[in-house]
Amino acid sequence: MLKIGSVEIQSNIVTAPLSGCSDLPFRMICRELGARFCFFEMVDAVSLTRKHIKTIEMLKTIPEDSPIAAQLLGKDPDMMLNGAQLILEHAKPVLIDINSGCPVRKVVNRGAGAKLLESPAVLVSIVKKLASALPVPVTVKMRIGYDQKYSLDDTLDLAKACEDSGAAALFVHGRLASQKYSGEVNYAAIKAVKNAVKIPVIGSGNILNPTLAEKMLAETGCDGVLAARGALGNPWIFREIEHFLKTGVLMEKPSLSERKTDLLRHLLYIKTHKTPRRSGHMGLMRKVALWYVTGFPNAASVRGNITKTRKYEELAELIERIGE
Ligand SMILES: Cc1cc2nc3c(=O)[nH]c(=O)nc-3n(C[C@H](O)[C@H](O)[C@H](O)COP(=O)(O)O)c2cc1C
């Protein structure tokens, strides 16, 4: 269990915010297979304020898609507060997180995402503004530093400053922004953050299977873990981690038929719940199907065939016939 401010979450395994991935169909399938707490995709405070349709659509949810958290991207405290209030009008997140970890060039070039790590005063003023005005807890998702020039002392000062400004928890990705998503996870730095603050710390980085989830908890003493890439095409990871943490025994992997059934259901949720792009749903459906392919028999040729499909029916038939 995880307690963030006044919010009690029935699990310490959290489904990460994943731009372009953690949409409603993804969350539905994850929840059905064991996820208990999910994030919407990150939303940009400026796009929200301008009421861009695509951004509003990212907040699409259904009653079973709960409890849920929202994450905001931006650097201007007033704009961030306005964005947070718009999120609360459109959806019912139990908390609002501030993105201080996105390493994408066009984001950091405008001073947002991971760049906030280098502007502690700005991050602190955003936390203060939101935490004092919003009816839900405010959290920060940060990295351990921006680039090799980082100092752990500065990171710890920033973590403490966020706590003192009203942050109710920290999600800490144990990599530098300059590492993007590769390279070692710095467990010692996450542990140092955990020891420096009293609020919950949720560790992120290489939560790819139950053993690595246990390693994160054991090496850092953190309060929970954030499953990100490990959940893409692998929504069974939540029940597998939970089972392993409870019993010390690895669960059997889902059968081929279960994998195929769950993938087909994921595609159906895309068909039912997503507004089609100009090219329909196929771009997203092929992307999602490719996530699941690892572990399928003849994965390389299946992958090639998926990329050639042009219609949902064609893709569904291809998946049904895998392993025949
Ligand atoms: C495709 C993709 C999209 C992501 N989008 C976000 C995001 O919008 N907000 C965020 O805070 N982190 C985002 N992340 C980072 C993850 O939440 C997570 O911290 C990171 O992937 C490390 O965990 P992992 O090594 O287990 O994947 C994203 C990561 C990936 C791979």
The CATH number that applies at residue 122 is: 3.20.20.70
Q: Are 59 and 70 in contact (CB under 8 A)?
A: yes
* Residues 136, 130: Cα–Cα separation, whole Å: 9
Mean pLDDT of the region 4-27: 98
pLDDT at 98: 99
Kindly state whether residues 226 and 269 are assigned to the same domain. Answer: no
Kindly state whether residues 265 and 158 are assigned to the same domain. Answer: no
Kindly state whether residues 284 and 216 are assigned to the same domain. Answer: no
pLDDT at 279: 78
pLDDT per residue as tens digits for the range 105-124: 999 999 999 999 999 999 99
pLDDT per residue as tens digits for the range 74-117: 999 999 999 999 999 999 999 999 999 999 999 999 999 999 99
Kindly state whether residues 62 and 146 are assigned to the same domain. Answer: yes
pLDDT classification of 257: cutoffs 50, 70, 90 = very high
Kindly state whether residues 241 and 301 are assigned to the same domain. Answer: no
- Backbone phi and psi for residue 312, each to the nearest 5 degrees, phi listed first: -55, -45
Kindly state whether residues 42 and 158 are assigned to the same domain. Answer: yes
Kindly state whether residues 10 and 136 are assigned to the same domain. Answer: yes
Which residue, 212, 247, 282, sits at the end of a domain?
A: 247
Kindly state whether residues 209 and 260 are assigned to the same domain. Answer: no
Kindly state whether residues 214 and 264 are assigned to the same domain. Answer: no
- Angle 163-164-167 from CA coordinates, rounded to 5°: 35
Determine if ligand 1 sits within 6 Å of the CB of residue 103.
Answer: no
pLDDT at 25: 98
Domain limits for position 113: 2-247
Which residue, 214, 247, 280, sits at the end of a domain?
A: 247
Amino acid letter, 127: V
Where residue 20 falls (left for φ over 0; alpha for ψ -120 to 50; beta otherwise) is left
Single pTM value for the model: 0.97
Pocket test for ligand 1, best of 13, 14, 15, 19 (most atoms within 8 A of CB): 19
* Residues 244, 213: Cα–Cα separation, whole Å: 9
Kindly state whether residues 107 and 157 are assigned to the same domain. Answer: yes
- The closest alpha carbon to 160, from 125, 184, 195, 129, belongs to 195
* Residue 83 Cα distances to 89, 119, 131, 170, angstroms: 10, 20, 14, 20
Kindly state whether residues 111 and 92 are assigned to the same domain. Answer: yes
Structural domains of the chain, count: 2
Distance from Cα 19 to the centre of ligand 1, integer Å? 8
Q: Which residues pair with 72 in a beta bridge?
A: 43, 98
Which residue, 217, 247, 277, sits at the end of a domain?
A: 247
- Backbone phi and psi for residue 7, each to the nearest 5 degrees, phi listed first: -95, 125
- The closest alpha carbon to 14, from 165, 185, 173, 177, belongs to 173
Distance from Cα 228 to the centre of ligand 1, integer Å? 6
- List the structure tokens of 202: 């949720």
- Backbone phi and psi for residue 118, each to the nearest 5 degrees, phi listed first: -95, 0
Kindly state whether residues 17 and 153 are assigned to the same domain. Answer: yes
Q: Are 192 and 156 in contact (CB under 8 A)?
A: yes
Q: Which residues are catalytic?
A: 102
